[in-house]
Structure 1
Amino acid sequence: MSTIAITLNDQDKSALRTAAYGSVALLAAAGAPHKAISQGSIALTSATGLTGHVLSVKSKDIALPGKNVAELAEQVLPALTAAVDLLAQQYPAEVDNFRSTVLVAVEAAQFAKGAPSPAVVAMAAKITAALG
C-alpha cells in the first residue's frame, strides 16, 4: 500500500468513500438501472493511486441514510465538494485522480445500458458540478 494512503486518517478515508460511492447511489436513486450502477461501482474499484487505495478497501463506514433522492443529494453533493477540498489541502496532486475516477463512474453508470433518462442526466450534471 502506498505511504500516502496510510497517512490519511480513517475519517478522511471514510469521507472519500462516502462521496465516491454516494455519487453512484445518487444515480441509482435517480433511476439508473441496476446494471449501470454495477458498472459505476466497478469503475470506482478500478481506480489507481491514493484514490484507488481508499476506494478498493471493503468498508462499512459509508453512511448514506436518506428516504428520498433529495435527502441523499443533500448528503452526497456536499460530500463530493468536501472530498475534493480535503484532497486539495492534503494531496493536491490527487484531486484530478479522484475527480476523474468519480466522473468515470458516473459515465459508466449513465451509459451502461443505452441512453440515460433525463433524471439521471440531470443528476450526473449535479455530481459533476459538486466536483468543481
Structure 2
Amino acid sequence: MSATLTLTDQDKATVRSAAYGAVSLLAAASDKPHKAATAGSIALTSATGRVGHVLNAKSKDIHLTGRTVAELADQVLPALAAAVALLDQQDPAEADNFRSIVLAALEAAAATSRNGQPGPVVDEMTRKVAAALHAA
C-alpha cells in the first residue's frame, strides 16, 4: 500500500464509480451484458494495490443513473478522467495501476461476447474509455 495516497470519501466514490461505470458502459455495448458485467466486476475485485483496496471496499457510494448509454457515458467518462487526475496528483504509480485495472476489466468483459471477439460497438466503447483514462 502506498503511504502517499490519501483519498477522501468523495475521492474513493469517484474512483469506484469510474471503474464500475466503465464496466457498465462496456456491458451495455455488449451482446451478453450480464456476462460482461460479471466478468468485468470480477476483474475489478481482483485488483491489487491501494486502488484495489478502494475498489474492494464495501460501500454504497456508486451512483450511476441514466436510461441510455449516452447518459451513462456522460457520467462515467468524466469520472474516469477525474479519478486518474486525483490519483496522479498523489501517486502516479497508483494512477497507472488504476488505468491497468480498468483496461483489464474491459478486456475481461469484452471476452464474453458470443464468438469471443468483441464487436465494433464494444471496440468503440473500449476506445472511448481508454481515451478518458489518458485524458488527465
Tell me, yes or no, whether TM beats 0.5. Answer: yes
How many pairs does the alignment contain? 131
Q: CA deviation at 1:73?
A: 0.5
Structure 2 residue identity aligned to 1:42: I
Pairs within 5 Å for 1:11-50: 11-33=10-32, 34-50=34-50
* Amino-acid identity (%): 63
Q: Aligned-pair RMSD on alpha carbons?
A: 1.6
Unmatched 5+ stretches in structure 2: none
Q: Could you tell me which runs of 5 or more consecutive residues in structure 1 were left unpaired when the two chains were aligned.
A: none
State the 1:6 CA deviation.
7.9
**Corresponding residue of 1:129:** 131
**Aligned mates of 1:75, 1:105 — CA distance in 2:** 18
Residue correspondence of structure 1 range 1-132 to structure 2 within 5 A:
2=1, 4=3, 7-33=6-32, 34-113=34-113, 114-132=116-134
CA offset digits 1:55-110 (Å, max 9, x no partner): 00121100111110101001101110110000011222211100000000000000
Question: TM-score, structure 2 length as denominator?
Answer: 0.89
Would you identify which runs of 4 or more consecutive aligned residues in structure 1 move more than 4 Å?
A: 2-6
**Closer, same or farther: CA 6–58 of 1 in aligned 2, 3 Å:** farther
Separation of aligned partners in 2, 1:121 and 1:63: 25
* Cα gap change, 1:51 to 1:24, in 2 (>3 Å): same
Of the structure 1 ranges 14-23 and 116-125, higher mean CA displacement relative to structure 2 is found in 116-125
